[in-house]
């Protein structure tokens, strides 16, 4: 999507030039795909990118902050709600609605993250599961309208339009929907890369490696964890808005912790210690699911076996395999 080199968090000596070439080629491939494949395949790829971005939001919390969370789906759902709220209540265009989704996820994550990041390890995990369960229970109870209004399950009645300075494009065209998704996901990926390579990201990496040492050198540990939690929530909400745009569908199920579990699986398969890994893991799952589920009723069992094999022989995920191959060729 963007000609940048994305390295795993723990890696330092990477063949930067070759990775740059690889991502430049990838950007070119994504650009020419509308001339090579069918429209329904373009939408499938756009969905992979959106769900990959959602999985990447988990990787930011877990891979950098060392926090295993099951609350990302809540923020994805909050993004869907925020998009609908901005669209139907305020009458925003597509840009205002996406911003509203991003802010909705961040605003909700601020108090949740403040309390959750004060505890560690399994206690943090339990807190995030409880938050997810409570949110779903409240919204499903039928008494949520005074909290969330009718915007949790409301969907766009018609393909949205993308107003630009020089023209307006419609999502009625699958090609427009595809290019819009590629660009928006690419921008989020670039922003996330800049964040984790900033002084803030380096401080968080030092915290993850050794929290006691981070405290001794004067880092505000709780604040760093809190801000990464909030930033990742914003990315999840942003992904939610893109899905609401592409699918023109939102649902209460998007808030459920099982969707957070999917993000965990996709990120770990692809490599939760990187930004690109979650996209690879998501693509792997969705492509395998698309093909094998047609022939195997118990597909999930077969996929579980495949996941165990990957974890056994590639604990750093599919992206780790790619990086090792680059390093091997670079050193040979």
User: For residue range 39-66, what is the model confidence (pLDDT) as tens digits?
Assistant: 889 999 999 999 999 999 999 999 888 8
Residue 302 lies in a domain: no
Flag whether the pTM goes above 0.75.
yes
Residue 311 lies in a domain: no
Residue 21 lies in a domain: yes
Residue 318 lies in a domain: no
DSSP state letter for 33: G
| Residue 280 contacts residue 270 (beta carbons within 8 Å) | yes
What digits encode the pLDDT tens for the residues 191-232? Answer: 999 999 899 988 888 888 888 888 888 888 889 999 999 999
Average pLDDT over residues 116-135: 90
Average pLDDT over residues 242-257: 90
Structural domain boundaries, residue 190: 16-253
DSSP state letter for 252: G
Residue 272 lies in a domain: no
For the cut 60, the answer to whether the pLDDT of residue 113 exceeds it is yes
Residue 179 lies in a domain: yes
* pLDDT recorded at residue 311: 80
Number of domains, the chain? 1
Give percent of the chain with pLDDT exceeding 90: 45
Strand ranges (E), the chain: 161-163, 168-170
Average pLDDT over residues 269-292: 89
Angle of helix 94-116 relative to helix 72-84, nearest 10 degrees? 150
Residue 43 lies in a domain: yes
Which residue in 94, 63, 101 sits closest to 317, CA to CA?
63
For the cut 70, the answer to whether the pLDDT of residue 70 exceeds it is yes
DSSP secondary structure string for all residues of 182-228: HHHHHHHHHHHHHHHTSHHHHHHHHHHH-HHHHHHTT--HHHHHHHH
Residue 187 — pLDDT band, cuts 50, 70, 90?
very high
Residue 80 lies in a domain: yes
46-60, 241-255, 291-305: range with highest mean pLDDT = 46-60
């Amino acid at each position: 999507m963007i000609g940048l080199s994305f390295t795993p968090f723990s890696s330092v000596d990477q063949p930067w030039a070759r990775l740059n070439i690889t991502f430049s080629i990838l950007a070119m491939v994504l650009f020419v795909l509308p001339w090579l494949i069918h429209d329904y395949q373009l939408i499938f790829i756009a969905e992979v990118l959106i769900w990959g971005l959602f999985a990447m939001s988990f990787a930011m919390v877990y891979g950098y902050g060392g926090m295993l969370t099951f609350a990302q789906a809540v923020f994805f759902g909050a993004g869907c709600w925020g998009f609908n709220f901005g669209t139907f209540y305020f009458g925003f265009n597509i840009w205002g609605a996406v911003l509203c989704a991003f802010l909705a996820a961040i605003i909700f994550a601020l108090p949740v993250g403040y309390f959750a990041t004060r505890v560690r390890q399994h206690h943090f995990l339990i807190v995030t599961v409880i938050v997810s369960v409570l949110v779903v229970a409240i919204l499903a109870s039928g008494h949520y309208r005074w909290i969330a209004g009718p915007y949790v399950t409301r969907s766009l009645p018609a393909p949205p339009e993308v107003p630009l300075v020089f023209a307006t494009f419609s999502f009625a065209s699958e090609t427009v929907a595809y290019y819009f998704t590629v660009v928006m996901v690419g921008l989020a990926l670039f922003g996330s890369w800049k964040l984790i390579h900033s002084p803030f990201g380096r401080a968080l990496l030092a915290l993850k490696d050794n929290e006691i040492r981070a405290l001794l050198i004067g880092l505000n540990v709780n604040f760093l964890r809190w801000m990464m939690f909030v930033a990742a929530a914003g990315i999840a909400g942003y992904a939610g808005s893109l899905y609401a745009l592409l699918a023109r569908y939102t649902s209460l199920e998007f808030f459920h912790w099982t969707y957070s579990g999917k993000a965990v699986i996709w990120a770990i398969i692809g490599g939760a210690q990187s930004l690109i890994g979650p996209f690879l893991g998501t693509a792997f799952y969705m492509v395998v699911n698309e093909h094998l589920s047609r022939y195997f009723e118990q597909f999930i069992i077969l996929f579980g076996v495949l996941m165990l094999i990957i974890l056994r022989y590639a604990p750093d995920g599919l992206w780790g395999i790619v990086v090792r191959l680059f390093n091997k060729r670079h050193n040979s």
